[in-house]
Amino acid sequence: MGLRRFFSPSEIINDQVNIDGEEYHHVANVMRCRPGDELEIVNGRGRLLHGRISALKNHCLQVKVLRFEKFPMPKPRIIIAPSLTRGHAMNWLIEKLTEMGVDEIRPLLCERTDVSYNAAQLRRWEKIAAQSLKVNRKYWLTRIFPPVSPAEIVVQAEKTPGKVLLDIDAEKKTGQVFPFPVLAVIGPPGDFSENEKKMFRGNDFVPILINDCILKTETAALAIAAIYKNA
């Protein structure tokens, strides 16, 4: 059995890394780790280190670095921009997209999005992403951004090579090859408005169809992520 793996974005200083906050509570009080125990720490930016706990004090766990490795950013790079969905459904979608290794998640607030947003949701999503990083033995943390409007995502995607609009009225199916990174936008229940679709098409987003069924936002987001993650 491998070593227990934890998450800390802290830098290595004098051959030591600290774990604090909620992760400290998990290591010290839930997993009951103590000085002398060895563990792995991933920082979400491609670094995996093997260390030994040297001290627990002031709600901070100090880890002596024994060795570490660096892993390159995975390819292909996938960015998923789904319409914001209701609480549990959005949390579930974040969990599954991070498990799949999507690089970025950029939620959308569309004309037909009927869900409000607050900053606590983003903090919850980031915790979900960090948990996925530990459980699924990945090295790069999925970046999750606060929701933006379709107009804002168009500006953000200006230099993105592959831009995809999931559209039930599209003629092309997902077999089309796009340059990476790929950004896929997925609408809310009721789809994007015609004005939003027109804006996307006018900014080089290619309308594509997954299949002939009308899919939920979560289903469509997972399907397109799986298709292009394995391209």
Residues 56-100 pLDDT 10s: 988 899 999 999 999 999 888 999 999 999 879 999 999 999 999
Do 87 and 62 lie in one domain? The reply is: no
- Write the pLDDT tens digit of every residue in 181-225: 999 999 998 899 999 999 999 999 999 988 888 899 999 999 999
pTM of the model as a whole: 0.90
Do 60 and 135 lie in one domain? The reply is: no
- Write the pLDDT tens digit of every residue in 14-54: 999 999 998 999 899 888 999 999 999 999 999 999 999 99
Structural domain of residue 51, as residue ranges?
5-70
Domain count, the chain: 2
End-to-end CA distance of the chain: 32
Do 41 and 92 lie in one domain? The reply is: no
- CATH number for 211: 3.40.1280.10
Long-range contacts of 54-62 (CB under 8 A, 24+ apart): 54/16, 56/28, 59/20, 59/24, 60/18, 60/19, 60/20, 60/24, 61/18, 61/19, 61/20, 61/24, 61/27, 61/28, 61/33, 62/16, 62/17, 62/18
